[in-house]
Structure 1
């Protein structure tokens, strides 16, 4: 599989300028060219860039991160199964709110990395991160101010989720993740991707605002086991012609997010309502 620089930048959530800089300074660039001379990234080169994004998100200097990104990743540490109690979750949410109100994006990122490392993506998201984001959104709605707090906090969580190591090696693609055509809220899909990485499942995320033709083209090329379309509001979900997407793929089609509530979905479309449900659905499809 090969990818254009623009597609890789969108997939990893970095700017094309950053991608070019990493190529010029650290040699993290594509080796393949089309007949017309256009650059194309191979899957293994995209995986190196994923490691680069994760390492820099953890505060590793870019030159050191580039060197480490070229090396095979160490065995993933096994996390001790410890429950995230209600008291611990409440304390953690207060810590996130304090850091967010200070516009301390690195602090939000650090807290999120520690939480995910200690309890895993699913527990961290369900008990702390998602409620924290909901509270920030509610405050903006009530007060009409605080968008900058919400945006910086989201950026910190995004970096922490992308720091979860992506599965090494080759293998079937478990899931292709995408937002509805006008959906700009993609953080929940990042959480799903990070949770799949913890399950050693390979995935790709097309990100926010994915036109239906682009989604269908990616499905044709990637042949994932599961295709997930996220929408947080009904008017955004309504722009997705599920029947057309269904005709274009053999993948299990999943409608994720509260935007699908109340829709009369075809029987062939799955509708998980929580992150654990979505992770289990995808894992079950690739481990039957």
Structure 2
């Protein structure tokens, strides 16, 4: 992925990945020399994998209570960190997917979020976001949702599972933000289900495609304003119920802006969408639409 292996991470992307503010990152660069060691052809600063590992260590030490100056002294005195080469992705077979789902579901029923996080992170690292979502995360969440509805209890299991999956998805590094924004991801007004868009964003990061996620319950006016400011190649709007989808200014999006408009989620199924708007049928389909709109294949 370009996020860590190609041109490196931007300061903003690294700050988000480490869970610290960009101001903290700049301070550590200025005071202790823990800055980016690479530059792009356009002279933009980028953090290499070795830089990232040093800063992970810095975060670890300061989280244990060390003052930043003391932590920086330790980090700078240590040998250069070894950077592991990512293992090649392998297809997730049906048998393996069933076994992983069983383990994930058992951990969910015990509310063992640390184990679920570990399983989810490893699954994405080995098989990628798309396979992990289609074969493990989504089927497990659907099963838990149906079980909770049938029994009238168990919503806490579904919520903890969602949190574990979200943690793993947000661990996928953002690509370098260069050129036109590839995709703007938004929920319908009053829509609170954001996890499918988080999955799409993580899958796009794996393909080095830039994206922004505007979060839950986005007012129609705010969506139009954001598209006008950011001018993305693709706008994806998610809705899980038809009454929420109807609140989206879809016709305006399709006619006012130079962007591919795509709708996702079951809320759009019973509705007629304007000509030119594309219905996304899966996470894999969503990735293909964005890559195609930005002149790439996948």
Please say whether Structure 1 and Structure 2 have the same fold, judged by a TM-score greater than 0.5: yes
Runs of 4+ in 1 over 4 A off after TM superposition: 22-29, 74-79
Aligned length: 246
1:234 pairs with one of 239, 242, 248: 242
Paired position in structure 2 for 1:159: 167
| Conserved? CA contact 1:220–1:248, under 8 Å | no
Paired position in structure 1 for 2:60: 61
| Conserved? CA contact 2:188–2:245, under 8 Å | yes
Matches within 5 A, 1:12-161: 22=21, 61=60, 63=62, 79-161=87-169
Q: Which runs of 5+ in 1 are unaligned?
A: 1-7, 13-17, 30-43, 69-73
- Secondary structure of 1:159 counterpart: helix
Q: 1:222/1:81 Cα in 2 relative to 1: closer, same or farther (>3 Å)?
A: same
Distance 1:128 1:152 in 2: 15
Paired position in structure 1 for 2:36: none
1:284 pairs with one of 288, 292, 298: 292
Pairing 1:222–2:240 present: no
1:246: how far off? 2.5
| Conserved? CA contact 1:255–1:271, under 8 Å | yes
Paired position in structure 2 for 1:203: 211
TM-score, normalised to structure 1's length? 0.75
- Secondary structure of 1:172 counterpart: coil
- Secondary structure of 1:92 counterpart: helix
Q: 1:121/1:24 Cα in 2 relative to 1: closer, same or farther (>3 Å)?
A: closer
Distance 1:28 1:94 in 2: 45
1:61: how far off? 2.9
1:109: how far off? 1.1
TM-score, normalised to structure 2's length? 0.73
| Conserved? CA contact 1:216–1:248, under 8 Å | no
**Higher Rg:** 2
Distance 2:285 2:84 in 1: 24
